Amino acid sequence: MSDQTATKPRVRFAPSPTGFLHVGSARTFIFNWLYARHNGGTMVFRLDDTDVERNTDASVQSIFEGLRWLGLNWDEEYKQSERLDLHRAAAQAIFEKGLAYRDFTPAHAAEGEASSAQGAWLFNPGMRELSREASDRRAAAGEPFALRYRVPRGAGRLVQFNDAVYGEMSKPADEVEDFALLRSDGNPTYHLSSCVDDADLRITQIIRGQDHLTNTFKHVLIFEGLGATPPQFAHLPLLVAPDGAKLSKRKHGPVVSVTTYRDAGFVPEAFINFLCLLGWSPKNDLEFMQIAQLTELFTLEGVNRSNAVVNFSEETPFDPKAVHLNGEHLRVLSVEDLTQRLLPFFVNAGLIATDPSSSPSSFENGGIDDAAIKKLLAVTPLIRERIRLMAEAPAAADFFFLSELPPYDPAELIPQISKKEQGDAALALRVLKHAAEVLDETDFNHDALDHALREAAADLGLKAGPMFQPIRVAVCGRKNAPPLFETMVVLGKETCLTRIRQAEEKLTTL
Ligand code: GLU
């Protein structure tokens, strides 16, 4: 039993709360989560909040908000800022072993001058070689210092690790500078805190962005200093824009932020599916995958090294593959589930009213009347094939909810009789008048409407198409609309007849 527990992976997602949740971070989270769940391991969430100057509460909120939306949970949660004593104690232990030294040079001077003049590693040879006695004396006198790792020097010395994605990584130790473990204010650096926590939390795999690949040489040295075996590293390829530049909010705008996808009406299932295809390929080249299948198939061997391109442009603000996958995911949700998710979009569009004192995103207790919910439940199956993002739903279905149709061009009411023959306003009027008479006598259910309107077409010597077009435009205010009979059933007899009469009036203005 204990053997088994020992081999179960422990992975972590460790965001720094210095910005909103980036799509690349979301992918890192997801890959860690899939790895943990695939292997029956533990998912750790760790907030890397040691950089007090750059941390913001808004960023913490954005990270939690984004992750909550993804709906993937974690098993353990930590905050680095609550573990600073541990980090300082570890720095002290490394120092006591002689693997770190105090650098009394003010940080800015040390970093600039020496590195450019003598090679990056020789931060400050005077400090590196300072005797322990002199160092203790100056520290005791209250002189501020940074604590630097004493990177082993000498020709032929290599720092090495085996990355699960990038393979054997190796660098001459002389190319690694004597990096700081503690700043001169006594606070640990990211490198120190991260490694101390990874060791203390018994992390077995570090799965993170490729931008940390070069940091890893330093991390391997810190693990050595701690006397701990480094975890396995797996770096994920960068997400880049079509022009090859690393995705960044400054350059690429909202497409980089997770909440943009949520607000545009992606379902998290599709967003997760899409992100998984950025830098990972399942063995069988599947594209549409649900979480369960992703979990079953996910392995680090499937992660590629080449940058993953997110395709977007001014005309198509989201990657077409993401949009397509979203459409597919919408189609497999139950009507009730999809309706629940669509509801806030209708509320926000002002098509469904809500009690202002309650939350618009909550369906069960959101103060929305039963009739509106019942109507949306009936509308959902009619529009689900016609939308790919949930934010498109209100525009595709507004005519179900509006008491007055938005203005439309009455010429749209005039049907095409055949490929070559165009009808005229008089024909449209005849169709609508006859339809109104017939519909007045018809039960509003699918089959009765189908039967009655086909018969009405025959009465006028018309095919179904030219009969249905004026009716469709009259009741929906547009040609492009869901199936006619189902639509009319949802709208009900009274609304349909009123709109048909209004359309007749519009035709007289032509
Ligand atoms: N806090 C670091 C970041 O957000 C974590 C990197 C890591 O996974 O070690 O980039």
pLDDT in tens, 378-420: 999 999 999 999 999 999 999 999 999 999 999 999 999 988 9
pLDDT given for residue 494 in this prediction: 98
Q: Nearest CA to 42 among 4, 75, 71?
A: 75
Residue at token pair 């480094």? 230
pLDDT in tens, 213-252: 999 999 999 999 999 999 999 999 999 999 999 998 889 9
CB hemisphere CA count around 270 (13 angstroms): 25
Where residue 284 falls among pLDDT bands split at 50, 70, 90?
confident
What is the mean predicted confidence (pLDDT) over 77-96? 98
pLDDT exceeds cutoff 50 at 116: no
Which ligand 1 atom sits nearest the alpha carbon of residue 215? 9
Q: Following DSSP, what letter does each residue of 189-254 receive, concatenated?
A: PHHHHHHHHHHHTT--EEEEEGGGTTHHHHHHHHHHHHT----EEEEEPPEE-TTSPBP-HHHHGG
pLDDT exceeds cutoff 90 at 181: yes
Contact 189 CB / ligand 1 (< 6 Å): no
Q: Whose CA is nearest to atom 6 of ligand 1?
A: 14
Q: Nearest CA to 143 among 113, 178, 102, 109?
A: 102
Identify whether the C-beta of residue 304 lies closer than 8 Å to the C-beta of residue 235.
no
Q: Nearest CA to 210 among 239, 175, 231?
A: 239
Give the integer Cα–Cα distance in Å for 361 and 348. Answer: 9
Give the integer Cα–Cα distance in Å for 178 and 386. Answer: 59
3-state SS track over 27-61? HHHHHHHHHHHHCCCEEEEEECCCCCCCCCHHHHH
pLDDT given for residue 122 in this prediction: 54
What is the mean predicted confidence (pLDDT) over 116-135? 75
Give the integer Cα–Cα distance in Å for 269 and 281. Answer: 17
Give the integer Cα–Cα distance in Å for 341 and 270. Answer: 14
Contact 14 CB / ligand 1 (< 6 Å): yes
Residue at token pair 């971070």? 25
How many A from CA of 208 to the centre of ligand 1? 7
pLDDT given for residue 179 in this prediction: 94
180-182 and 146-149 strand pairing: antiparallel
Which ligand 1 atom sits nearest the alpha carbon of residue 219? 9
Q: Nearest CA to 79 among 60, 54, 93?
A: 60
Domains along the sequence of the chain with CATH: 249-327 (1.10.1160.10), 333-401 (no CATH), 410-507 (1.10.10.350)
Burial of 470 (0-12, 13-18, 19+ CB in 10 A): buried
pLDDT given for residue 5 in this prediction: 52
Give the integer Cα–Cα distance in Å for 363 and 336. Answer: 11
Contact 498 CB / ligand 1 (< 6 Å): no
Helices (H), 384-492: 393-401, 425-440, 446-459, 464-476, 484-491
Q: Six-digit token pair at 328? A: 């597919």
Cβ-based neighbour number of residue 210 at 10 Å: 19
**Amino acid (one-letter) located at 470:** P
What's the gap between Cα 324 and its chain centre? 15
Give the integer Cα–Cα distance in Å for 396 and 254. Answer: 24
Q: Which is higher by pLDDT, 156 or 510?
A: 156
Cβ-based neighbour number of residue 477 at 10 Å: 21
pLDDT given for residue 123 in this prediction: 65
Contact 192 CB / ligand 1 (< 6 Å): no
pLDDT exceeds cutoff 90 at 52: no
Torsional sign, CA 75, 27, 276, 388: positive
pLDDT exceeds cutoff 80 at 110: no
How many A from CA of 74 to the centre of ligand 1? 17
pLDDT exceeds cutoff 70 at 359: no
Where residue 321 falls among pLDDT bands split at 50, 70, 90?
very high
pTM greater than 0.75 (yes/no)? yes
Where residue 4 falls among pLDDT bands split at 50, 70, 90?
very low
Please give the annotated binding residues, written as ranges: 249
Give the integer Cα–Cα distance in Å for 349 and 265. Answer: 13
Burial of 292 (0-12, 13-18, 19+ CB in 10 A): exposed
Q: Six-digit token pair at 467? A: 């009969």
pLDDT exceeds cutoff 80 at 115: no
CB hemisphere CA count around 235 (13 angstroms): 21
Distances (CA, A) of 103 to 186, 215, 498: 12, 21, 84
How many A from CA of 16 to the centre of ligand 1? 6
Q: Following DSSP, what letter does each residue of 242-299 receive, concatenated?
A: TTSPBP-HHHHGGGGBHHHHHHHT--HHHHHHHHHTSSB--TT------HHHHHHH--
Contact 208 CB / ligand 1 (< 6 Å): yes
Picking from 115-119, 169-173, 247-251, 254-258, which range would have the lowest pLDDT averaged per residue? Answer: 115-119
pLDDT given for residue 107 in this prediction: 55
Percent of the chain predicted with pLDDT > 90: 85
Give the integer Cα–Cα distance in Å for 110 and 507. Answer: 83
